Structure 1
C-alpha cells in the first residue's frame, strides 16, 4: 500500500474473476460469487488507486456507489455472455453434476462452521447455533444460518485481538 504500485493486485483480481467467468458452468454458484467478490474487491480498488483515483476508495459512501456500479456492470456482462453462448444449446456442460456435488458437500459444512464458531467464543458459537437452527426450521441449508448467526453476534460481541 505504501509504494503506490497496485499492478500485481489488479492482475490477480482480474485473472481470478476472468477464470471463474470462463469456467462458470463447471463450478458452483458460491465459487462464482466468491470469485466476483475477490475480483471486484481487490482488482477494482487496485485499478482505481493505480490510476490515481483515491476518492472512490477512501470515501465510504463513494466506495459503496462505485461497488454497485461495477457489480451491476459485471452482472450484466455475465448475463449477456451466458445468454449468447451457453443458453443457445441444450447441454448444461456438466453444471448440474457439479452444482449437485457442491450442494451435497455443502450440507456437511454447516456443523463444521458451528464447531469453529464455538471455538472462537461463546456468543459467536451461540449465534451460529441459533442461526443454523432457524434455517433448519425454515427448511433452508443450515450453513447460511450458521454464518449469519455467527456474524450477527460476532459484531455485537467482538473478539479482542491481543
Structure 2
C-alpha cells in the first residue's frame, strides 16, 4: 500500500476528521464567549468586535453583533468550500464566538451562553455542522476534479492584501469549469459595481452556477 492510500485512511487526512476538529475549536470559542458573558473575560476575538457584543449586553440590542458575526460566518463557509482552507478568524472567532451568541441572545435564548456545559455542547454542535457543510459542498463542486486549481494556497493573506484574492478566485473557478468561471466573473462584476470586495461576489457566483453545473471529471 503506497503512502497516499495510507494517508487517506489516517485520521488527519480523512474527510470526517475536519468536522470534528472544527467542532472542538468552536466548542472552545463558544465557551470563551460564555466566560465573557458571565465574568467579563475570556472572549476569543478582537477588542472592537467583542465591543459589539458588549454593547448588546449593556443596551439590550444585539443587532450589530449578530449581523456582523453571522455575515462573516456565512462568507467564510462559502469561502472554505471553494478555497479549501477555513478562515478561523472570520468563521469560528467572529461567526461562532460573536455572531451566533448574539443571535441567540437577541431572541431571548440565554441558556447556551449562561451555562458552561451547554456552551461546550452548543459550540461542538455548531462546529461539526459547519465542517460538514464545507466538506459536502466542496466534495460536490471543485473536489470532483483531480486538480486543486491552486485553491489550496489561496488563503493566508491578511486583510490588506485580501483584495488581490478576487482575481485568483476567478482564475481558479475558470480552471474548474467554464460555467463556474462565468459565475465567478458575473458575481465579481456585480460586487464591483456594488462597491464591495469582488472576492465575495466571485465566490457566490461560482457556488451558484457550480450547483447547476457541477464538475463531473473522472
Do residues 20 (structure 1) and 76 (structure 2) align?
A: yes
For residue 39 of structure 1, what is the aligned residue in structure 2? 95
Displaced runs of 4+ in structure 1, greater than 4 A?
none
Unaligned runs of 5+ in 2: 1-56, 158-218
Q: Normalization by structure 1: what TM-score?
A: 0.53
CA deviations on 1:53-110 (whole Å, 9 max, x unpaired) are 01110111111111111111111111111111121223424224436x77xxxxxxxx
Give the root-mean-square deviation of aligned CA atoms. Answer: 2.2
Aligned match for 1:74, one of 127, 130, 133: 130
Q: Normalization by structure 2: what TM-score?
A: 0.41
Aligned match for 1:89, one of 145, 169, 176: 145
Aligned match for 1:6, one of 62, 86, 92: 62
Unaligned runs of 5+ in 1: 103-162
Aligned match for 2:110, one of 54, 75, 79: 54
Q: How many residues align?
A: 99
Higher relative contact order (CA 8 A, sep 6+): 2
Contact 1:7 1:50 in 2 (8 A): yes
- Secondary structure in 1 matching 2:154: helix
